[in-house]
Amino acid sequence: MGLFFKIIGAIFLLFLALVVGGYFASPTLTVEREIYIDAPAEDIFPYLNDLELFAQWSPWTAGRPDASYVYGEAIDGVGASVMWRSSDADDAAISSQEIISSQAPEFVQSALLLNAEPASVTYALLPDESGRRVGVFIQFEKDVGGFPYMQRLLKGGDETALGRDFDAALLRLKTIVEAG
């Protein structure tokens, strides 16, 4: 019986350590990526600001031929929105994106709902000194949960997976823009 209580005590202490560790971890998952594209910002901006063009390279929707999309009244600029659902078992929830801020040809900011979890993403265009190429910068942010705070300790896996998705999406964007 004493061994049983020691095991229960050890499990409780482990749980308590995870809660305390998670409390002090950042509550926000942030992923940032950048790629340089050999094109002027004016040629790149429509792929960030027009949701139909965005779907060609998007980290959320590209590569999902089974997804069905429903666009709002506007497809570009502030207020443009799209909703989608994939038939994947892992992606059964409806996801959406709405452009909440846009300034041509500098940046686009969107509010997301990815599998029922709110997030935000900003796409910025930063021309280099030569003026021949433009850096496309993505900053993604999502809250990762409150008590018992353990989700904060597990966000490293999400950062890695999202980083790969963003890298692939930016490479698709580079290919599309430079080929056009």
Sequence-distant (≥ 6) Cβ neighbours of residue 169 within 8 angstroms: 57, 58, 59, 62, 138
The answer, yes or no, to whether residue 90 has pLDDT greater than 60, is no
More confident residue, 94 or 136: 136
| 107 in Cβ contact with 122 (< 8 Å) | yes
* Distance from C-alpha of 105 to C-alpha of 48, rounded to nearest angstrom: 10
What is the pLDDT of the chain when averaged over all its residues?
A: 88
| 143 in Cβ contact with 28 (< 8 Å) | yes
Task: Note down the domain range covering 41.
Answer: 2-179
Q: How many domains does the chain have?
A: 1
Three-class DSSP category at 70: strand
Host H or E run for residue 103: strand 95-103
Task: Give pLDDT tens digits for 26-61.
Answer: 888 999 999 999 999 999 999 999 999 999 999 887
* Distance from C-alpha of 95 to C-alpha of 148, rounded to nearest angstrom: 26
Task: Give mean pLDDT, residues 1-22.
Answer: 84
More confident residue, 111 or 161: 111
The answer, yes or no, to whether residue 141 has pLDDT greater than 60, is yes
Residue 143 sits in a domain whose CATH number is: 3.30.530.20
Please tell me the predicted confidence (pLDDT) of residue 80: 97
DSSP label of 55: T
